């Protein structure tokens, strides 16, 4: 599938974006581990979250789809999962494999997990190491670092784990394994990563303590299924926020977006760049803050420095931030973001490569990129590299590029944002 985008004057309209990917995954997993029924609304029916459903079906969880984006998860309790009869397949989803490894580590059975070409290159030792320390037996290719991964779980003990990466996937895996111990598991991160697992576990009845970048989980508590309304994904909203900010005359309102402070780095950066952005109608649903985001085009944007504790708060938005930086005056420096190299693709290389083809002055560095704004963009042929966020980034850059931009191999957009291209066509004026 190809995306075709023409240069556009502005985008305009009022929209909602699909449900948050991180929260949708967790609703399936934690719903499965709860007693009773978890009713999920605004679930992201994207490829990644559907992979999570398939994996849990293979372990005996039953699901009932009750609407286009709503479903019931029939929970089986912490100890209700069954040994899967075949290899679990997570497709393209890093969140599925890593969080599920934490759950599998707690099960008294054998399991094996694999995924697509991209997943089979992504590091798993960062999750396997603490889980092994807790007592799980885990192996995989390349000394246990790469999928397929095998897990023989059960009999876990709590640990005090100091993570070297700020990763919610690593933190969450250890937290979920911690539920299967009879003590308190402590995880300390170098910077605070997204905290959806903490919030949802607390909402469903687990005992969680958080102070600064340390989280503690008490084992053994029963989780009780409850309704979960998934907020719109700020990582999906980000594409339209940037589109509106770079196209003068634009005016967009995105309703019901998740505004969890561990995810709102994109808002801080756009404001810092000088964008006309406003939040309204702030409230909370099932322990997650949400609100409506209004962005108007026409403000002059300027380059900024993005580093340190801000990075985990916008790690998935760096590709689209690079597009805002390309339309800003001066230099934008992104550093401390070496994690980008181990996402669905090496996003330092793929983002710099594709934007460079469109005429953006962008240099790769060891842990980020430097973008010099102001060059004219030209439409061209771009390649998604099978990475959903690279595909959408090129498409949004295409709105500001002379002529036509064609993004090839763009079916991957469905991983996180089904309907992206239809929504975009509706907004373009």
CB neighbours of 142 closer than 8 A, spacing ≥ 6? none
330 in Cβ contact with 284 (< 8 Å): no
Query: Using CB under 6 A, which of the segments 117-125, 161-169, 248-256, 361-369 binds ligand S3P?
Result: 161-169
**Binder among 89, 169, 350, 421 for ligand S3P (CB under 6 A):** 169
What H or E segment, with its residue span, contains residue 289?
A: strand 288-296
Instruction: Indicate the residue among 172 and 181 with the shorter CB distance to ligand S3P.
Output: 172
Q: How far apart are CA 84 and CA 57, in angstroms?
A: 9
Alpha helices in 108-254 (DSSP H): 125-134, 141-144, 168-178, 196-204, 234-246
Regarding 286 and contact with ligand S3P (CB under 6 A), the answer is: no
Q: Least CB distance from residue 193 to ligand S3P, whole Å?
A: 5
160 in Cβ contact with 149 (< 8 Å): no
- Is 316 a residue of the active site? yes
What contacts 24+ positions apart, CB below 8 Å, involve 137-141?
Answer: 138/101, 138/105
Residues 325-364 that bind ligand S3P (CB under 6 A): 339
Regarding 264 and contact with ligand S3P (CB under 6 A), the answer is: no
DSSP summary character for residue 409: S
Regarding 316 and contact with ligand S3P (CB under 6 A), the answer is: yes
**Binder among 5, 17, 22, 97 for ligand S3P (CB under 6 A):** 22
**Binder among 107, 167, 380, 405 for ligand S3P (CB under 6 A):** 167
Residues 80-119 that bind ligand S3P (CB under 6 A): 95
Q: Which residues, listed in sequence order, are joined to residue 381 by a DSSP beta bridge?
A: 406
For the chain, what is the radius of gyration of the CA atoms? 21
Instruction: Indicate the residue among 233 and 292 with the shorter CB distance to ligand S3P.
Output: 233
Q: Least CB distance from residue 275 to ligand S3P, whole Å?
A: 23
Q: Least CB distance from residue 129 to ligand S3P, whole Å?
A: 14
272 in Cβ contact with 306 (< 8 Å): no
100 in Cβ contact with 131 (< 8 Å): no
Which residue in 117, 316, 336, 387 is the catalytic one? 316
**Positions marked catalytic:** 316
- Per CB under 6 A, residues contacting ligand S3P are 22, 95, 167-169, 172, 193-194, 315-316, 339
């Amino acid at each position: 599938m190809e995306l075709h985008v023409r240069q556009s004057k502005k985008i305009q309209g009022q929209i909602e974006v699909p449900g948050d990917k991180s929260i949708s995954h967790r609703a399936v997993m934690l719903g499965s581990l709860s007693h009773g029924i978890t009713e999920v609304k605004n679930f992201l029916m994207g490829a990644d979250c559907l992979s999570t459903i398939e994996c849990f079906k293979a372990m005996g969880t039953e699901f009932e789809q009750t609407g286009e984006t709503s479903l019931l998860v029939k929970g089986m309790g912490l100890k209700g999962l069954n040994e899967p009869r075949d290899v679990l397949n997570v497709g393209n989803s890093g969140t599925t494999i890593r969080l599920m490894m934490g759950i599998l580590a707690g099960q008294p059975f054998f399991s094996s997990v694999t995924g697509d070409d991209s997943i089979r290159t992504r590091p798993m030792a960062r999750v396997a190491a603490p889980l092994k320390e807790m007592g799980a037996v885990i192996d995989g290719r390349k000394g246990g670092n790469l999928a397929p991964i095998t897990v023989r779980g059960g009999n876990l003990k709590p640990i005090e784990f100091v993570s070297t990466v700020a990763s919610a996937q690593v933190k969450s895996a250890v937290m979920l394994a911690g539920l299967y111990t009879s003590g308190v598991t402590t995880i300390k991160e170098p910077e605070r990563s997204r905290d959806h697992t903490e919030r949802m576990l607390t909402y469903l009845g687990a005992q969680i303590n958080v102070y600064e970048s340390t989280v503690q989980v008490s084992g053994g508590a029963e989780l009780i299924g409850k309704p979960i309304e998934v907020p719109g994904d700020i990582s999906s909203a980000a594409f339209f926020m940037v589109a509106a900010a770079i196209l003068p005359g634009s005016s967009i309102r995105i309703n019901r977006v998740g505004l969890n402070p561990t995810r709102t780095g994109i808002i801080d950066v756009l404001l810092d760049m000088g964008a006309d952005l406003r939040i309204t109608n702030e409230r909370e649903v099932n322990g997650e803050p949400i609100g409506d985001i209004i962005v108007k085009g026409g403000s002059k944007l300027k380059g900024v420095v993005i580093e340190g504790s801000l990075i985990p708060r916008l790690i998935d938005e760096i590709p689209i931030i690079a597009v805002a930086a390309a339309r800003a005056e001066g230099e934008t420096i992104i550093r401390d973001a070496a994690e980008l190299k181990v996402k669905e693709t090496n996003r330092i290389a793929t983002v710099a490569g594709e934007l460079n083809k469109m005429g953006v002055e962008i240099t790769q560095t060891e842990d980020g990129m430097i973008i010099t704004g102001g060059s004219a963009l030209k439409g061209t042929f771009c390649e998604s590299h099978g990475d959903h966020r690279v595909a959408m980034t090129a498409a949004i850059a295409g709105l500001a590029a002379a002529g036509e931009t064609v993004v090839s191999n763009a079916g991957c957009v469905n991983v996180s944002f089904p309907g992206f291209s239809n929504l975009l066509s509706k907004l373009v004026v």
